[in-house]
Amino acid sequence: MRLTLPVTIFGIDSEGERFTALAMATNLSRTGALLTGFDVELRCGDTMVVENEGHRAQFRTVWVLNLGPVRGTEVALHKFEGQPCPWEDRLPEQATLAGSMSRSQ
């Protein structure tokens, strides 16, 4: 979904140090998101907790792109199965989404 939300991320960076950072979550889905606007050195496979308005879930890093000191890091995340979606209330209901998909086919 084309929505941008501020999130707080917690984890361990590529140097083994704990971090907390503010980021922007975009391309939201019930299973993942794209994070931008932060400067933490991460690797594929790293795990982190993402929090939005008091809702938290654990995610795994799928890919990482370092965009330099001005733009920071861009990271694609996938939510661990069984974890609640931190932005569930911002996404369209599945029934609505399924109905619009069947009408477009």
Amino acid at 80: F
* Domains defined for the chain, CATH in brackets: 5-93 (2.40.10.220)
Burial per residue of 66-86, b for 16 or more beta-carbon CB atoms within 10 angstroms, e otherwise: eeeeeebbbbbbebeeeeebb
Q: Which helix (H) or strand (E) holds 66?
A: strand 55-66
pTM to 2 decimals?
0.81
pLDDT band at 20 (very low <50, low <70, confident <90, very high): very high
Between CA 21 and CA 38 the distance in angstroms is 7
pLDDT of residue 90: 87
Give yes or no for residue 101 having a pLDDT over 50. no
pLDDT at 14 over 90: no
46-98: pLDDT as tens digits: 999 999 999 999 999 999 988 777 777 899 999 999 999 999 988 887 644 44
Q: What pLDDT is attached to residue 5?
A: 94
